[in-house]
Structure 1
Amino acid sequence: MPPGKPLIVVLIVAAQVLALALWFSGTAAGPAMAREAELPAGFLAWLTSAVQAGFVAGTLASAGLGLPDRLDPRRLIAAAALLGAAVNALILTLPVGHWSVVAARALTGATLACVYPPGMKLAAGWADRNDTGLLVGLLVGGVTLGSAGPHLANALGGLDWRVTVAAASAAAVAAAGLILAVRLGPRHAPAPPFRPSHAFRLFRNRGTRLATLGYLGHMWELYAMWAWIGPYLSASFAAWHGTPDAGAGPAAAFATFAVMGSGALGCIGAGLLADRVGRTRVTIWAMAISGTCCVLAGPAFGAHPVLVVALGIIWGVTVVADSAQFSASVTELAEPGLAGTMLTAQTSLGFALTLVTIQAMPWLVARLGWSGGAFAVLAVGPALGCVAMARLRASPMAERLAGGRG
């Protein structure tokens, strides 16, 4: 093991979680803004969607310019975290409910495009043949726990939104300092001469193409589930108790935190398992289970809350457990020096797809209902993802995954 590796991995994970507090802060601040002022119709939805839209635009630009491979990832992450902290802090000077706040959130998302994918490349630079899945899994697990955090805060009564926004900016500044203390890993490869077409090699390389198709199937489900599991649990609790107010209390928020937060354990466990039995196996297993949960969510709606939460936790563990393994696969299958660009392109495509499914869910709920299979539509993604990863497992490219384990 290279000297200082455990500490460096801890620093990378901590820096990523602190910087991505900029993303999580909108989810936590929105309800508090709504309590303080009358917000325009659709404002809270746009407050969340704007970050993802900005992130997609930022990752497209970053991949097209090859920034994660052409620049030192530590300096890129630090600069992006500081810029994101400044843009996020600007919200404190803007009128509550003004559309300029949504614009600031979009710009914040664009800066995070130079934090998350380069962070995965930085972590992969410290991996060896036996722990790539675990290291990237730790990173995604930290992000998963951070994504669940606002639901816990809201369950406990929430915080003043100004405190939330200011704390997120302070965390991002701390992240910039931490990441600059990290050394590049022994597997960090220098980038080849820049060409705009490098991003397209993600699909020209059969191995990274299949891994990305699997990732897209996974992302079709993941963020729509995360975005709507809270309303689903609230409505289910209300249906069980026979009163609409039963789903409005802190119980649903605590349950949402438990369901989403359990995914952090799934990421770490899947990373350990994938490094030992193969990435394709673990991703297929995870998508098969999470896809089944999509289908079962309808029949389980309105059942005893213990049963619904138990199903939710199984879903929460498996829906994100495979996420890091698609990224780890790309780092192992990418051409030397292009892993950062390919990871960024893969991430951009995945998050662009989430904008479709998140926005489609209200339409599905209105027409099918929670008990009628609104969530079941999401099962299409993991089903197709399983096909893609099975094809990757059957190809010679699989010998480059997880030390030859596939």
Structure 2
Amino acid sequence: MVPPLVWIVTLAVIIGLLAFDYFAHVRKAHSPGLREAAIWSGIYVGLALLFGVLVTIFGGTDMGGEYFAGYITEKALSVDNLFVFLIIMTSFKVPRAAQQKVLLFGIVFSLIARSGFILVGAALINRFSWVFYFFGLVLLLTAGHTIKPEDEEHHGDEADNIMIRLARRVLHTSEHYDEDRLVTTVGTRRMMTPMVLVMAAIGGTDILFALDSIPAIFGLTQSIFIVFTATAFSLMGLRQLFFLIDGLLDRLIYLSYGLAAILGFIGVKLILHALHENTVPFINDGEPVHVVEVSTFFSLAVIVAVLAVTVVASLLSPAGKAQAAITGMRHLTAQYLDLDYESDPEKREQIYEHLVSAIAKVDALAPKYRATLHTETELMASVDLAHSMHAQWRGAGGSGVLDSTGGRS
């Protein structure tokens, strides 16, 4: 039993970190650099590990093992969530400087939603032991769904979930963003900006993410304190991680298989635990079934091993490198052509430099991978337009505003 004082201190630390993140980084809209994202990602991971050490010291090795297993699993699932966040913000063409506020909102909303699911899940577990069967089946089904091939258009459906359809029906938003503001003035009217719709989309997907996230961590521990803190610390630093691994996300082509293996493993673990505590009448006449139970440290070892193999295989895969190079070129081209995405001339120059580097990587691919570009006529036309826009921008001395056709306005 965790003392109330420990709960109070822990909640104060988490709320304080979120408040600090907002006032120190998000309140003033800006595009975070790689160095800033790397430093703060490291700090938040360090704080999570330090908390795990404290849990181990004061709560024992079993409790510490449960925390680390839960934290690593939730962190891996949160990285997978970043894919959808990226697609949502790309679909809504969110300016880069405004993406920080969207991500922080997503983190806060996710923490609130998952806290609700944690309380409900704990109440169900305490009252009905058969819930472990249900959670196990949910994870096995989720694991199967995770490895189903899905195209980007299907992922884009995440941006048209129930919450955003409701928001579109109730709210009348402006056509353009006003930095990272939620409300703007159009003529004489006060209107919501598209940021409200983006946040509705993020909020809706957060609820869906919680449906597999919470059963997964309950499969590793039934301690509400560990479930909550592992979930909370896995979400901390997610904003910085997004900007740090933005270009790396497309390289992790086998991440879905790794996550499917982890969710499937935890699903089996839950069902074994349910059998061990069985009270369901039609299974062994309502008596417990003597089966092998998976220990916390074995679970931790499996999770770490699967993630390590998944990441290394993705980074070394020639297909992964090719996919990342082509997708990176596509994203950078779209970012450069979208004049609202980045208005800072210096940052636009950096995007163009990254685009040139991405094109060079694509040119260096093996012929069988470059051959796929022959059907990408729209992409190649966009690349040519980006070159043309940049040449005119440089010709204007790096000043002036270009329209979407490459001309000055």
Common topology (TM > 0.5): no
Q: Give the structure, 1 or 2, with the largest relative contact order (CA under 8 Å, sep 6 or more).
A: 1
Structure with more helix by fraction: 1
**Higher Cα Rg: structure 1 or 2?**
2
State TM-score, norm by structure 1.
Answer: 0.28
